[in-house]
């Protein structure tokens, strides 16, 4: 027994030793696993400084492994690039920025806006939710841009997997920027990518890899000699076939990268990931967009990664206007040699821009008002009259908005036309420019009419629509039969005459031309009309210098096809490219000082309404309009012959008549501080355009809307149409109208829409909330307005912040015959709305009521959420409807 006990004891000790040994082994393995996880878990990890040329890591001839440099493909080599399938994504760019005000983020957005590409910005999340990427089975974004690529690399595992999966499934690419700082590791590897980064370098002599698949606009024939801006550059290195250099440069010195053996080696500052590693195509920049060539490549990267969906064509149309011909002080005008140089340069430029022609704008009154030499220049210019294009300014170079009498304005134009006829200047170009862009925008009606009557003008241009700055927002529009094109500046003004006296130094002008603002204007605009002046073509002839060098630079660095067209054809081409710009968006002239300065002094923004009653129809808007008109401080618009008390400006063809037409419906204010104008147009409510248009012209206006049960509103509209002998409403019952199928007759569907669609209250209010703050909109209970109007009017007066509060209990009385409240007049009598208001008609049938209750259920739920969110009280009828749906 003792022997057995000893054996068992020894066995237990042996098992205990084994258990302890197993625990030790498990602990060691866990520590090894943890050490590996910790060392590899940061998304960017430090690595030994890896050279870009063929030298070894570790300092000695035998130390370490070789790190092959990232170099251009050899001639004839081709790499497979997966085609981008963009059919399942919307043409929208998602831009992750560091902050709302970060410089690089703003530069990215500026390029997208200039190119008219839609985008959405988000603050890049380190952790947290990713924006919704899909909508049903479609991707919401065709491209992802990270201002800081490390925010993408450092995403938490859940969001990183979510974003990468989206990019792979929908064929979406990523553009990212790496901007080094003093805390950046000199050499590091991106976790998960066979790509090394070397940072805080100074670079020089940048060139383009001709084999890069993303090149479209960019041409790879040149080297940008000299030092690149900054000493915070990052270059990329890899030996994986997925990476293709786009831009390459030399380091400023061999010491810039430790152990760099050959200072002349080329290093990649922009790299393209072909997607061979993980199925996602990317373009990575080793700096921001301060370097002009980065902007050019960025435009190509957007084009390539979206399969050219977000891309402009290679065609670029340019027109160079020379304003103020014959105008100018002595010493600033063209002499004989200057005129010869103008013609010679024009002929030279035609070798690069077919039919390039300077467009000369003249004011005949100032002919022969210079020195003798300058007068001889005038004569020579007229002897070459057929060599150039011509357009009229004003005879005396006066600003048209100063002429309030159209007849006087036309007389001035006739003087200029007579001068043109006498000197053989063509008068049929159909193009004119107003001095200082006066009267073009904001529109001076007299100018447009005089232009058409005297000159037959069809096209003009301005830098003022919608505003002078930022220039990337300039757009075109068509008004009163005249196409208005955006006009661009080119760094030359009337006072820029001498090269050595250019503001800031001559280098500033060269910078504008060579990759700067002027170059970017052509790059990002299919059509550019440039404003120059007579004084830019005398003396040092900076106008000729600028455009000769600009065209040379464009042809050296891009594949753009430069062309020109006369103004009328140019306008036709412009609106073929941008048909959505045909309709103008009128702004408040008093919100922009420049606009106010070139707007007629006889006009005032105080004539605009401060309150809009937007509808919808058949909810009691006419009654509210009447009640407001009873207040001593409130003044309604004049009635319209066609639409009675409604102007209907913001939602229909009246909008194209312009703001002068709109203002005519309101009195000239006697006291701007107390006059409070308002207008009511009940079809504004469900209009797709009214909210945007109203907010542009009346950004500070208050908005009133009245809501009744949408089923009752629809039924009331149907009965309204029957009372007006609408044949469709007379032919079909209400139930047949609201239940009509999609294949029903067109006229029946139109009536159905007018009955049902305005009742989508949440949808329409949300649209207005895109343009007006919620505290500018008041939603009124239409049922309460009918039963307790004095209470509702007290609420309205507080909303409008009126100092003079009217007691509506004293000025309203219920009329039992009419069945609603009316104005109380002398002798206790009432003044009510016309016969068409308060009309009696049969009750809605039960089947229609049930259908409508079901139809509007979700709409009413959404309305309750929206009103609660915006701090509005729920109408009584809505509370009842919500209780019935439970």
**Would you name the residues annotated as active-site residues?**
618
Peptide bond into 442 cis (omega under 30): yes
The sheet carrying 820-824 orders its strands as: 812-815, 820-824, 830-831
Strand pairing report for 611-613 and 527-533:
unpaired
Q: Which of 803, 758, 812 is nearest to 623 (CA)?
A: 812
Please give the Cα distance from 451 to 45 (Å, whole number). Answer: 68
Q: How far is CA 472 from the centre of its chain?
A: 9
Q: Which of 353, 350, 361 is nearest to 567 (CA)?
A: 361
- Residue 481 in contact with residue 445, Cβ under 8 Å? no
Please give the Cα distance from 23 to 19 (Å, whole number). Answer: 6
- Residue 470 in contact with residue 592, Cβ under 8 Å? no
Percentages of the chain per state (helix, strand, coil), in multiples of 5: 40, 20, 40
Question: Rounded to the nearest 10 degrees, what angle do helices 517-524 and 292-305 cross at?
Answer: 10
Please give the Cα distance from 113 to 121 (Å, whole number). Answer: 12
Number of H helices, E strands in the chain: 27, 31
Please give the Cα distance from 696 to 690 (Å, whole number). Answer: 10
As a whole number of Å, the end-to-end CA separation of the chain is 82
Strand pairing report for 676-680 and 611-613:
parallel
Strands (E), 338-405: 359-362, 389-392
Please give the Cα distance from 223 to 228 (Å, whole number). Answer: 12
Strands (E), 600-752: 611-613, 634-636, 676-680, 702-707
Instruction: Extract the tokens encoding 467.
Output: 């505003």
**Which positions ≥6 away from 317 have C-beta within 8 Å?**
526, 527, 528, 563, 564, 565, 570, 573
- Residue 567 in contact with residue 429, Cβ under 8 Å? yes
Q: Compute how many other C-beta atoms are within 10 angstroms of the C-beta atom of residue 861.
A: 15
Instruction: Extract the tokens encoding 204.
Output: 């020089």
With H, G, I as helix, E, B as strand and everything else as coil, classify residue 677. Answer: strand
**Which positions ≥6 away from 413 have C-beta within 8 Å?**
392, 394, 395, 450, 451, 454, 455
Strand pairing report for 830-831 and 820-824:
antiparallel
CA-based torsion, 107, 113, 116, 120: positive or negative: positive
Instruction: Extract the tokens encoding 209.
Output: 């890899």
780: buried, middle or exposed (CB in 10 Å: 19+, 13-18, 0-12)?
buried
Instruction: Extract the tokens encoding 543.
Output: 């106008």
Going from the C-alpha of 587 to that of each of 467, 525, 690, the distances in angstroms are: 9, 23, 13
Peptide bond into 517 cis (omega under 30): no
**Which positions ≥6 away from 828 have C-beta within 8 Å?**
813
The one-character DSSP state at 665 is T
Place of tokens 């109007």: 789
Instruction: Extract the tokens encoding 18.
Output: 């084994």
């Amino acid at each position: 027994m003792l022997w057995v006990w000893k054996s068992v004891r020894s066995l237990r000790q042996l098992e205990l030793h084994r258990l302890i040994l197993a625990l030790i082994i498990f602990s060691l393995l866990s520590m090894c696993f943890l050490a590996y996880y910790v060392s590899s878990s940061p998304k960017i990890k430090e690595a030994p400084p890896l050279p870009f040329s063929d030298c070894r890591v570790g300092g000695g001839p035998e130390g370490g492994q070789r790190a092959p440099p990232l170099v251009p493909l050899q001639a004839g080599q081709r790499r497979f690039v997966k085609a981008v399938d963009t059919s399942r994504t919307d043409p929208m760019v998602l831009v992750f920025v560091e902050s709302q005000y970060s410089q690089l983020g703003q530069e990215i957005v500026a390029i997208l806006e200039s190119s008219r590409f839609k985008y959405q910005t988000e603050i890049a999340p380190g952790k947290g939710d990713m924006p919704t990427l899909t909508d049903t089975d479609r991707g919401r974004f065709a491209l992802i841009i990270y201002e800081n690529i490390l925010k993408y690399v450092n995403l938490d595992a859940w969001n990183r997997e979510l974003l990468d999966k989206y990019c792979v499934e929908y064929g979406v690419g990523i553009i990212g920027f790496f901007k080094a700082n003093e805390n950046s590791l000199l050499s590091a590897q991106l976790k998960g990518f066979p790509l090394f980064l070397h940072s805080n370098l100074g670079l020089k002599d940048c060139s383009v890899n001709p084999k890069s698949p993303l090149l479209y606009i960019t041409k790879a024939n040149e080297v940008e000699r000299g030092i690149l801006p900054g000493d915070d550059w990052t270059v990329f290195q890899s030996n994986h076939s997925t990476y293709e250099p786009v831009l390459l440069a030399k380091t400023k010195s061999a010491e810039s990268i430790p152990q760099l053996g050959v200072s002349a080696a080329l290093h990649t500052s922009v790299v393209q990931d072909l997607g061979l590693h993980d199925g996602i195509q990317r373009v990575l920049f080793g700096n921001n967009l301060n370097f002009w060539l980065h902007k050019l490549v960025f435009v190509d990267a957007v084009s390539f990664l979206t399969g050219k969906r977000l891309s402009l064509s290679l065609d670029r149309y340019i027109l160079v206007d020379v304003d103020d011909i014959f105008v100018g002080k002595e010493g600033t005008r063209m002499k004989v040699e200057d005129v010869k140089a103008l013609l010679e340069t024009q002929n030279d430029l035609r070798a690069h821009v077919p039919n390039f022609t300077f467009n000369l704008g003249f004011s005949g009154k100032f002919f022969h008002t210079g020195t003798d030499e300058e007068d001889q220049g005038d004569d020579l210019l007229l002897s070459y009259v057929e060599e150039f294009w011509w357009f009229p300014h004003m005879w005396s170079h006066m600003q048209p908005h100063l002429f309030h009498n159209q007849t006087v304005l036309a007389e001035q134009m006739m003087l200029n036309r007579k001068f043109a006829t006498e000197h053989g200047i063509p008068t049929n170009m159909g193009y004119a420019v107003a001095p200082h862009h006066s009267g073009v925008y904001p529109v001076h009606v007299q100018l447009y009419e005089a232009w058409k009557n005297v000159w037959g003008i069809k096209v003009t241009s301005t830098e003022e629509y919608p505003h002078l700055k930022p220039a990337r927002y300039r757009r075109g529009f068509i008004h009163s039969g005249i196409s208005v094109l955006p006009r661009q500046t080119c760094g030359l003004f009337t006072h820029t005459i001498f090269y050595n006296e250019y503001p800031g130094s001559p280098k500033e002008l060269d910078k504008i031309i060579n990759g700067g603002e002027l170059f970017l204007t052509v790059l990002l605009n299919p059509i550019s009309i440039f404003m120059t002046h007579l004084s830019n073509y005398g003396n040092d002839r900076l106008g000729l210098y600028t455009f000769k060098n600009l065209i040379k630079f464009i042809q050296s660095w891009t594949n753009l096809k430069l062309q020109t067209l006369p103004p009328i054809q140019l306008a036709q081409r412009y609106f073929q490219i941008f048909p959505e710009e045909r309709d103008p968006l009128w702004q408040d002239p008093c919100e922009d000082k420049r606009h106010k300065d070139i707007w007629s002094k006889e006009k005032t923004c105080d004539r605009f309404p401060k309150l809009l009653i937007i509808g919808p129809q058949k909810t009691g808007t006419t009654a509210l309009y009447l009640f407001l008109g009873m207040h001593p401080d409130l003044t309604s618009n004049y009635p319209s012959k066609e639409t009675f008390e409604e102007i209907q400006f913001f939602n229909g063809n009246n909008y194209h008549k312009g703001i002068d037409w709109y203002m005519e419906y309101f009195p000239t204010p006697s006291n701007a501080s107390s006059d409070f104008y308002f207008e009511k147009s009940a079809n504004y409510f469900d209009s797709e355009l009214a909210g945007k248009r109203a907010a542009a012209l009346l950004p500070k206006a208050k908005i009133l809307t009245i809501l009744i049960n949408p089923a009752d509103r629809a039924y009331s509209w149907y009965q309204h149409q029957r009372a007006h002998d609408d044949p469709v409403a007379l032919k079909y019952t209400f139930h047949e109208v609201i239940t009509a199928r999609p294949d029903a007759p067109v006229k029946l569907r139109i009536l159905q829409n007018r009955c049902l669609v305005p009742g989508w209250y949440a949808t329409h209010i949300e649209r207005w909330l895109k343009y007006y703050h919620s505290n500018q909109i008041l939603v009124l209970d239409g049922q309460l307005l009918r039963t307790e109007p004095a209470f509702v009017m007290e609420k309205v007066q507080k909303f409008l912040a009126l100092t003079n509060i009217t007691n509506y209990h004293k000025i309203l009385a219920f009329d039992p015959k009419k069945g609603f409240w009316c104005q109380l007049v002398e002798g206790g009598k009432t003044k009510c709305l016309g016969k068409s208001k308060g009309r009696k008609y049969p009750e809605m049938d039960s089947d229609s009521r049930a259908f409508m209750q079901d139809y509007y259920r979700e709409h009413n739920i959404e309305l309750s959420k929206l009103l609660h969110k915006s701090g509005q009280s729920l109408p009584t009828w809505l509370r009842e409807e919500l209780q019935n749906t439970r």
